[in-house]
Structure 1
Amino acid sequence: MDTADLLERSYPGRRAELKRDIFHKALSLFNEQGIEATTIEMIRAECDTSVGAIYHHFGNKEGLVAALFFTALEDQARLRDAYLDAADTTQKGVQALVFSYVDWVEQQPQWARFQYHARFAVTKGPFKDELAERNKTRNLRLRQWLTQSGRAAELQDLPAELLPSLIIGQADSYCRAWLAGRVKGSPSAYREVLAQAAWRSIRAEGLAEN
């Protein structure tokens, strides 16, 4: 799936055409050259626009990196919520979380690769507070789903902050290895195995798998 598909979803219409072009070219440069080595001038040259236009939209390079990172997170969350809405049991909900994560990475490898590389910079940079707020809002849907009536009895008594790592951690590790070329099998080939492992890690003792 082309990176343009994600940008069209996130920033539709003719008025956002320049913004989409800047995003598209910046994403390629950040992945090819590295975030530190890529300059605004390099992005400007690729987009055939002015430095002022880039600063107008994003403020500076840190703002552009953060905007790309937030765009990826929001698109990932859209797919997650669509999968979660179709889940009618707790186990299927855990499966939906793993499936949506794996499928998004495989559909959007360039965005996923950037997301992994940019996470530290955004977490430690000037947009860390905005990231924390966005994560809080993004995860509200997940917390609401997990705390619905009857679901707590199906899960181990674990800290809420630990659940995302237990559910997504193994899928995240495999996806990183796949993006880095360390493994050959596509993430989707192992989505069932990864989902089963996630469910076993959080289900209450004595609760059978469906």
Structure 2
Amino acid sequence: MDTADLLERSYPGRRAELKRDIFRKALNLFNEQGIEATTIEMIRAECDTSVGAIYHHFGNKEGLVAALFFTALEDQTRLRDEYLDAGQTTEQGVQALVFSYLDWVERQPQWARFQYHARFAVTKGPFKDELAERNKMRNRRLREWLGESGRMGELRDLPFELLPSLIIGQAESYCRAWLAGRVKGSPMEYREVLAQAAWRSICADTALPD
């Protein structure tokens, strides 16, 4: 999958063609120049459109950054839920979360790189409440899945808010290093190892040091 596939999936049809083009050019500029250094005028020039058209779709630069970030988040969530729905056991569900995260980053490195860079800006900006609500919905889906068939009983007695970090934290750390060029091995090469590590960190049968 590439950037075009993700955008076609998220914003299909001819009427969304300009929006997809703005997204595509903005994503490249934000990753190449940095979010702070990139201006609406630079994006306009790349898209060969008007500043008014960009403002019409996104309001301002912060709106464009947030729209890109939420597009990435939704696509990532779509893959996560697809994998999670296929899981039967609790361990398979944990594997699904790790596998989907690693697979999405490897398939969409440009989007993942932007997502890491933009997270702070969105968290601190005018769209922070929307981000908090979206994250709450994502976590609710996970809580519901774990609540089915008594799956929570297989996990250590931990606050639920800690679970996503324990499950995804190591995979996220490796993906960041891979995108930054600090490590060479593909994230998908380590799917099994990272999934096993995530399971051991929350499984009730695994004793961790005090």
- The TM-score by the shorter chain falls in which range? over 0.9
1:122-161 equivalences under 5 Å are 122-161=122-161
What residue in structure 2 maps to residue 8 of structure 1? 8
Q: Does residue 65 in structure 1 map to residue 65 in structure 2?
A: yes
3-state DSSP of counterpart to 1:49: coil
- Alignment partners' CA distance in 2, 1:158 and 1:83: 24
Q: Percent identity?
A: 87
- Alignment partners' CA distance in 2, 1:44 and 1:125: 22
Q: Does residue 86 in structure 1 map to residue 86 in structure 2?
A: yes
3-state DSSP of counterpart to 2:123: helix
- Alignment partners' CA distance in 2, 1:85 and 1:2: 24
Q: TM-score, normalised by structure 1?
A: 0.97
Q: Which runs of 5+ in 2 are unaligned?
A: none
3-state DSSP of counterpart to 1:38: coil
Q: Tell me how large the CA RMSD over aligned residues is.
A: 1.0
What residue in structure 2 maps to residue 102 of structure 1? 102
Q: Partner amino acid for 1:94?
A: V
- Alignment partners' CA distance in 1, 2:206 and 2:28: 48
Shift of 1:206: 5.6
Q: Does residue 186 in structure 1 map to residue 192 in structure 2?
A: no
Aligned pairs, number: 207
Over 3 Å counting, the alpha-carbon distance change for 1:46 and 1:152 in structure 2 is: same
Which portions of structure 1, spanning 4 or more consecutive aligned residues, are displaced by more than 6 angstroms?
none
The CA deviation string for residues 23-53 of structure 1, in whole angstroms up to 9 with x for no partner, is 0000000000000000000000000000000
Q: TM-score, normalised by structure 2?
A: 0.97
Shift of 1:139: 2.2
- Alignment partners' CA distance in 1, 2:49 and 2:206: 62
The CA deviation string for residues 59-118 of structure 1, in whole angstroms up to 9 with x for no partner, is 000000000000000000000000001001000000000000000000000000000000
1:11-30 equivalences under 5 Å are 11-30=11-30
1:23-42 equivalences under 5 Å are 23-42=23-42
- Alignment partners' CA distance in 1, 2:189 and 2:182: 16
Q: Partner amino acid for 1:69?
A: F
Shift of 1:128: 0.3
